[in-house]
Chain A
Amino acid sequence: MFTINIWVLRGIIAVFLIAIVAATVGSFSVFQRSTFFVSGIAHGSLAGAALGIYLTLYLFPVNPFFTAILFSIFFAVAIGIASHRKEDVDVAIGIMFSFSMSLAILFLAMIKEYASVAWGLIIGDLLLLSSEDIIWMLTTVLLILLFFLLFRRRLLFSIFDPDGAESMGINPYIYETLLFILIALGVVVLLKGVGAILVYALLIVPAAAAKRFTATLEGTLVLSFFISLIAGLGGILLSIFTSVAPSAYAGLIATFIYFLSLLKK
């Protein structure tokens, strides 16, 4: 009984951390219209995590969380540079998307427990997180929060009005890259909990819905937090009573709230 509680408790902590990422990184990605970037990076981090698992199983132990972060930051910076060099940013993302997805399949295919590992990365395991996972997630979220608090004003200025920001000595390119890196970190936090496919559901969908319910910046951030939280907690709750992964319910709740937001206005 006690062990079950510990798993559930870790799941709840993870959901809180995910909600913080949705409120900060998620909202700003929606403002910046870089949500396709988010799904691109989700697959980049999938390849990284798969590599980490492969290395741990057959060569030397390395936390998949760490390789996932390395990969997603690498892809984020590469996409940032490509779009700065005037490649259409969606094309850059699409190329990285294909590249990282192919890598992910390759790495997963080299793992003997292929199916279960792949399944874990694709749909996540909110109720199977180790305390080491939680520490990684917590550290990453603290890092995101730190950067967000320090640079949120300049970040917002560059997103809203790059020319105006630059005329004030703020280099919008640097802040765009910073946002990309924060997205990369955020995606990895979500990957472990809800899996690559549903990163979008808990990172972007809450912010997209929140933005339709409120017209202010603070409102959007606060609401994204709660929508993501409700989706995550609801997912865990429903998962306890059925045998379906929590991420499925969480994704359904988040998209359902989004559909509700469409009724407004």
Chain B
Amino acid sequence: MSKYIEVKNLSVRYNGTPTLKNINFRIEHPSFLVIMGPNGAGKTTLLKAIMGLVPYEGDIRILGKAPKEARNFMGYMPQRDRINTNVPLRVRDVVLMPLLSRRKFGISREEVEQAKRALRFVGLEKLWNRNFLSLSGGQQQRVFLARTLAMDPQVIVLDEPFSATDVATKMKVVSLLHRLKSTKTIILVTHDINPLVECTDKVLLLNREMIAFGRTIEVITEENMELLYGARVPVIRQRDVCYLVGSDTHVHH
């Protein structure tokens, strides 16, 4: 089994409109990739291509397999605003959902354990029986993370896992990801790279095409930020770490 996630000459069109053009990169397994770009840049589209959810041209290999064959060792956490909030579910229903969808009847003690372990991992085991919709946005996000982890995927694909979280929750999730990083590959879309700087191996800047790809310190530069967002974003560098100033209020184009 190859130890890489590889994207070659990837293009995606929606109804003929080119959305992603000529994307090329390769990361090792395990490693941590952060994808950044303005709204509408095609970040979600790239993740969907990696998950085999949209038709694409080019070649994607996940540890040697095509996306659709790689599904059983990949976990995908969609952007939370795509969830139907009209379904009354408890936290456990949400975490168990992918596990249970694999068969028609019954539920095993092992599955319940797996789900509880994942919920414990994100620090929400007390909410097992709570109404999912009554949780805060940040808590819901962590439940989704638990749901993704409950399947024990090798490759974890997260679309804006911090979009509804406060600083404390964000730091909690970051430290969770830190703990996973030695064994799993994490591909994560965010508008705010600062809390992740220390665990990120590679950064991909995306705006319909690749603006830059490489190690954090090489990619996060003021020139690249201006290319990406079309506006000046100050970058602070400290030895081998770099931070964006004011990236919480991310730049639109």
Binding site for B on A (CB under 8 A): 30-33, 86, 149-151, 153-154, 156-157, 159-170, 211, 214-217, 219-220
CA distance A33 to B87 in the complex (A): 10
Task: Please tell me if the beta carbons of A167 and B97 are within 8 angstroms of each other in the complex.
Answer: no
- B184 CB–A CB distance under 8 Å: no
Q: Nearest-CB distance from A264 to chain B (Å)?
A: 14
A151, A161, A216: most-surrounded residue (chain B CB, <10 A): A161
B84 & A163 in contact (Cβ 8 Å cutoff): no
Q: Is B84's CB under 8 angstroms from A31's CB?
A: yes
A169 and B88 within 8 A (CB): no
Which chain B positions have C-beta within 8 A of A164?
Answer: 76-78, 97-98, 147
Which of A157, A214, A215 touches B98 (beta carbons < 8 Å)?
A157
Select A162's contact among B82, B97, B134, beta carbons within 8 Å. Answer: B82
CB distance from B111 to the nearest CB of A (A): 12
Can you name 7 A-B residue pairings with CB atoms under 8 Å? A153-B101, A160-B83, A160-B97, A167-B51, A216-B131, A217-B93, A220-B88
Closest to B129 in A: A216
Interface of B, helix, strand, loop or mixed by DSSP:
mixed
Expressed in whole angstroms, the minimum distance between the Cβ of B241 and any Cβ of chain A is 33
Q: Give bound CA distance, A98 to B224, whole Å.
A: 55
Q: Which residues of chain B are within 8 angstroms of A220 by Cβ–Cβ distance?
A: 88
- The range of chain B's interface size is 20 to 34
CA distance A220 to B48 in the complex (A): 33
Please tell me which one of the listed residues A160, A162, A166, A169 contacts residue B89 in the complex, with CB atoms under 8 A apart.
Answer: A160
Partner of A166, one of B53, B102, B105: B53
Question: What separation, in Å, do the CA atoms of A52 and B92 have in the docked complex?
Answer: 47
Report the Cα distance A215→B92, complex, angstroms: 13
Whether the pair A214, B82 counts as a contact (CB closer than 8 A) is: no
In the bound complex, how far is the Cα of B88 from the Cα of A135, in angstroms? 34
Asked if A165 and B131 make an inter-chain contact with CB atoms under 8 angstroms apart, the answer reads: no
A167 to B86, CA, bound (A): 21
Tell me whether B87 and A170 are in contact (CB under 8 A).
no
Shortest CB–CB separation between residue B40 and chain A, in angstroms? 17
Is residue B23 within 8 Å, beta carbon to beta carbon, of the partner chain?
no
The CA of A150 and the CA of B83, in the complex, are separated in Å by: 23
Please tell me if the beta carbons of B53 and A157 are within 8 angstroms of each other in the complex.
no
Query: Which of A30, A156, A211 meets B97, CB within 8 Å?
Result: A156
Interface contact B90-A167, CB-CB below 8 Å: no
> Given A216-B131, A217-B93, does the pair A159, B87 have CB atoms closer than 8 Å?
yes
Closest residue of chain A to B78 (Cβ to Cβ) is A163
Interfacial chain A residues near B100, Cβ < 8 Å: 153
Please, which residues of chain B bring their CB within 8 A of the CB of A153? 97, 100-101, 104
Q: How far is it, in angstroms, between the C-alpha of A31 and the C-alpha of B93 when the chains are bound?
A: 15
Kindly state whether residue B61 has any CB partner on chain A within 8 Å: no
Residues of B close to A154: CB separation below 8 A: 101
* A211 and B104 contact, Cβ closer than 8 Å, known pairs A166-B53, A216-B131, A217-B93: no
Bound CA–CA A157/B48 (angstroms): 18
Q: Are B131 and A215 neighbours in the complex by a CB distance under 8 Å?
A: yes
Tell me the smallest distance from the CB of B10 to a CB of chain A, in Å: 18
Q: Please tell me if B172 contacts chain A, counting CB pairs below 8 Å.
A: no
Q: Which residues of B contact A30 (CB under 8 A)?
A: 86
Q: Is the CB of A165 within 8 A of B101?
A: yes
A234 to B97, CA, bound (A): 37
Within 8 A of A (CB), among B46-94: 48, 51, 53, 68, 71, 74-78, 82-84, 86-90, 93-94
Which residues of B from 128 to 149 have beta carbons under 8 Å from A? Answer: 131, 133-134, 147
A157 to B77, CA, bound (A): 13
B88 touching A211 by the CB < 8 A rule? yes
Residues of A within 8 A of B98 (CB): 157, 164, 168
Alpha-carbon distance A150/B147, docked complex (angstroms): 23
Q: State whether A156 touches B87 (Cβ < 8 A).
A: yes
